[in-house]
Amino acid sequence: MSYSYQIKSYEQYKKDYQQSIDDPASFWSNIAEYFTWRKKWDEVSTWNFKEPKIEWFKGAKLNITENCIDRHLKTMGDKPAIIWEPNNPEERVRTVTYNRLHKRVCQFAQVLKNNGVKKGDRVCIYMGMVPELAYAVLGCARIGAIHSVIFGGFSAQSIADRLYDANAEFIITCDGAYRGDKVIPLKNVIDDALIGNRTVKKVIVYTRTRTPVSMLKGRDIWWEDEMEFAEHQIEKDGIVNFPAEEMDAEDPLFILYTSGSTGKPKGVVHSSAGYMVWTNYTFINVFQYQPGQIHFCTADIGWITGHSYIVYGPLSAGATSVMFEGVPTWPDAGRFWDIIDKHKINILYTAPTAIRSLMGFGTKPLEGKDLSSLKVLGTVGEPINEEAWHWYDENIGKKKCPIVDTWWQTETGGILISNLAGITPAKASWATLPLPGVQPLLVDDKGNEITEKEDGLLKGNLCIKAAWPSILRTTYGDHERCRTNYFATYENLYFTGDGALKDDNGFYRITGRVDDVLNVSGHRIGTAEVENAINMHAGVVESAVVGYPHDIKGQGIYAFVIDSNTHGDDELTRKDILQTVSRIIGPIAKPDKIQFVKGLPKTRSGKIMRRILRKIAEGETQNLGDTTTLLDPGIVEEIKNGKI
């Protein structure tokens, strides 16, 4: 084939980009030739954003695990697929070759089958960062079950909501998870989530921490026992296999819940073929992956970044993917640098919040650490400030490694806007150019394209005007919600919820959310969700939550709370509220600041003027904008004076 899958020059990028727009069908069918299909597609894509209905590689049959595992076995069976770095650096590293991964995934697919899991069933996964989590995800994909991974920082209540929403009948968990010097009792959280639940039939428990757990007869089973039992079932005449389920291109691969501007998290659904093609294509092109390289994405598999760039992207490319169980600052702030040195990492993909936090420890933790294996650095999840970008460039990349600033979302499945490492230009704190097939558009609040520059830049709400292969297909169980959330704000456009700038080179800079979604340490949290949780606390009359700039987290959570305060002890009430939020959502959503107020700035029709609260939280005292439409303008002064 003469077609080059990996873009090798700026010129080729421009050519490929143009072709992907002019003739998407031939462009993407060339790209799709690089995968293993049981049957090829009848049509490359058909879509409309009205319903929305989006199909890619229509009529094709495949299984993503054959692309992530089986096709590599012949030439790379003994090559590491996963290198697992434990929380405790004294503990043994585990290296999982492609052969071993194949065996474990087959074994676990057999376990699922033995327990009655079928194609299309929803399986909830709530585990720490252990290789078994990857086996669980891929085991589901192998038999065609839809995985729904829930990040370990979510509470029992959040899990219960997600189990209910997806009507999940199976759970895979661990007794506990290590995070720095803490042990998180995951199975206990699951037990709480299951109180009153009548749909879950089986809970498979992997032993990681030996934390005491309750095991209900008939429902709860041990991972180790099940795997042992399945081991001989997948072996015949010395050959290990569990035949992969044949999936339709558009069969759902997974659900991942994410916060939006309305109260309840949505179950974003990704398809099999489009998601596979996109994660592989972007992994190979953005990071300029070279065969044999070792890739370290520091995200948790509980978030989309882990799905796409620890599991599916790197494994489908036959790369070695490093999976880290711990946290960047334990046992000390040199942990990432130790891991890079120890495993000779070539690609490091992390979040600005981690960079800022490590930057705060200075360069001492870097002393004596050999980072010369690094070739490419990446960031994701939030805007990166120039200071952090330069620190990363100078101290980690030693000015020799291109930095890719990758913009994307849970809903986009993979990277949409980013420079290509060393191939297209980088610009500090700019995500720069769209990947082939991605057509961004900046619009005003009415949906008109922005054409007038402000200070030399176009500035507007970021939309995408055509479907790319891994765009979300629906929100689980509620297609209308998908339509109203993403496709109804502006006609015939996918609306990202982000604001952006565009310069004369066509480079994009993402400025942050323009809706009521916060980005705290790279984690998406809806303000409405946090308010609902705070309002559940006895004594709270009403609350309003906004974001404010936070040096390390990017954004912090600021809550204005009207409290009946029957105890008269603000400090205690504050702690109680934090406890309530932890229970309802999880510790990640705890407000950084709680200010008790007598009233909230409301319009005469009762709408809270968040704009004013946002300004106060940001420390603005003068230009709060027009307050004359407020029911009680005096309240603003009072809130301003009580700012913490």
Contacts with ligand WTA by CB under 6 A lie at 258, 303-305, 380-383, 405-410, 431, 496-498, 510, 512-513, 519, 524
Q: How far is the CB of 299 from ligand WTA (least distance, A)?
A: 8
d(CA 554, CA 535): 25
d(CA 270, CA 255): 7
Q: Would you state the structure tokens that stand for residue 157, as one six-digit string?
A: 């209540």
Q: How far is the CB of 379 from ligand WTA (least distance, A)?
A: 6
Nearer to ligand WTA, 176 or 352 (CB): 352
Q: How far is the CB of 614 from ligand WTA (least distance, A)?
A: 16
Q: How far is the CB of 38 from ligand WTA (least distance, A)?
A: 30
SS3 of residue 184 by DSSP: strand
Rg (CA), the chain: 24
Q: Tokens 């795997």: give the residue.
A: 227
Nearer to ligand WTA, 305 or 320 (CB): 305
Nearer to ligand WTA, 156 or 304 (CB): 304
Q: How far is the CB of 300 from ligand WTA (least distance, A)?
A: 11
Nearer to ligand WTA, 334 or 383 (CB): 383
Nearer to ligand WTA, 70 or 405 (CB): 405
Q: How far is the CB of 303 from ligand WTA (least distance, A)?
A: 6
Nearer to ligand WTA, 66 or 300 (CB): 300
Q: How far is the CB of 42 from ligand WTA (least distance, A)?
A: 32
Q: How far is the CB of 251 from ligand WTA (least distance, A)?
A: 23
Q: How far is the CB of 486 from ligand WTA (least distance, A)?
A: 11
Q: Which residues have a Cβ under 8 Å from the Cβ of 407 and sit 6 or more positions away? A: 380, 415, 416, 417, 418, 431, 498, 508, 510
Q: How far is the CB of 176 from ligand WTA (least distance, A)?
A: 25
Nearer to ligand WTA, 243 or 587 (CB): 587
Cβ neighbour number for residue 385 with a 10 Å cutoff: 17
Specify whether the CB–CB gap between 180 and 87 falls below 8 A. yes
Q: Tokens 């590491």: give the residue.
A: 80
Specify whether the CB–CB gap between 194 and 626 falls below 8 A. no
Nearer to ligand WTA, 410 or 580 (CB): 410
Nearer to ligand WTA, 185 or 263 (CB): 263
Give the torsion sign (CA, 224, 137, 269, 473): negative
Q: Would you state the structure tokens that stand for residue 582, as one six-digit string?
A: 């932890």
Running DSSP on this structure, what letter comes out for residue 88? Answer: S
Nearer to ligand WTA, 72 or 513 (CB): 513
604-610 CB contacts, 8 Å cutoff, 24+ apart: 604/629, 604/631, 608/544, 610/516, 610/527, 610/544, 610/546
Q: Tokens 């309802």: give the residue.
A: 584
Q: How far is the CB of 46 from ligand WTA (least distance, A)?
A: 26
Specify whether the CB–CB gap between 388 and 355 falls below 8 A. yes
d(CA 306, CA 300): 5
Nearer to ligand WTA, 35 or 430 (CB): 430
| Residue (of 565, 569, 515, 562) closest to 535 by Cα position | 562
Give the torsion sign (CA, 139, 142, 147, 152): positive
Burial class of 112 by CB neighbour count within 10 A (0 to 12, 13 to 18, 19+):
buried
Q: How far is the CB of 555 from ligand WTA (least distance, A)?
A: 10
Measured at CB, which residue is nearest to ligand WTA? 410
Q: Would you state the structure tokens that stand for residue 339, as one six-digit string?
A: 């891991």
Q: How far is the CB of 305 from ligand WTA (least distance, A)?
A: 5
Nearer to ligand WTA, 32 or 510 (CB): 510
Q: How far is the CB of 587 from ligand WTA (least distance, A)?
A: 17
Nearer to ligand WTA, 104 or 524 (CB): 524
Q: How far is the CB of 286 from ligand WTA (least distance, A)?
A: 11
Backbone angles phi and psi of 422, in degrees to 5: 75, -5
Q: Tokens 């407020």: give the residue.
A: 630
d(CA 579, CA 254): 31
d(CA 548, CA 120): 42
Query: If you write DSSP's letter for every residue of 160-181 in order, what string do you get?
Result: HHHHHHHT--EEEEES-EEETT
SS3 of residue 502 by DSSP: strand
Specify whether the CB–CB gap between 190 and 144 falls below 8 A. no
| Residue (of 416, 421, 420) closest to 441 by Cα position | 416
Nearer to ligand WTA, 270 or 513 (CB): 513
Q: Tokens 């990640």: give the residue.
A: 588
Nearer to ligand WTA, 32 or 304 (CB): 304
Q: Would you state the structure tokens that stand for residue 252, as one six-digit string?
A: 């759902």
Specify whether the CB–CB gap between 81 and 96 falls below 8 A. yes
